[in-house]
Amino acid sequence: MNTKKEKIYNRWIVALSILIPLVVAILFSVKLEIPGVERLGFLPPIYASINALTALILVLAIIQIKKGNRNAHEKLMKLAIGLSALFLVMYVIYHMTSTSTPYGGEGSIRTVYFFILISHILLSIAVIPLVLISFVRALSQRFDKHKKIAKITFPIWLYVAVSGVIVFLMISPYYS
């Protein structure tokens, strides 16, 4: 990839890395009312399942690249990106149409919950540019640089996917 194209991709990565969390934060303040629908309570188990599936896909993708199967790895990674985007859309739609559920646990489990939740949120923001940089480097066949950033991206992305499921499981008894 030439440096001109790379600069364009880098601008897009920076823009998306700022815009996505900003738009999500803004959309959280928007509350939509759907006539005849009290809340979209069916969405959290679906998007938690998408997170679980993303985690599985990420592990399978790593297994495939370690086996030298670049084609399968690429397909799995594109699927993981697509699933993450689908998760984000469903997550935002749910929170735009429903009030937040307060966590009802007490004692040390409450501390554990908020540690997992806060680390999940912060790392979900941090992983956006990492995923995009990894993806662009792979697409541009700069596999040496892709491999370096992917070694950082993979564990963070996997943690975000798994911790999302854990957060859901911990808060789901408190959904009304």
Instruction: Calculate mean pLDDT across residues 11-36.
Output: 87
pLDDT in tens, 77-102: 999 999 999 999 999 988 888 888 88
Say if residues 84 and 131 touch (Cβ distance below 8 Å): yes
Read off the amino acid at residue 61: A
**Does the pLDDT at position 35 exceed 80?**
no
User: In one letter, which amino acid is 106?
Assistant: E
Domains detected in the chain: 3-174 (1.20.120)
Burial 159-170 (b: 16+ CB within 10 A, else e): bbbbbbbbbbeb
**pLDDT digit string, tens, across residues 149-159:** 999 999 999 99
CB 164 within 8 A of CB 120: yes
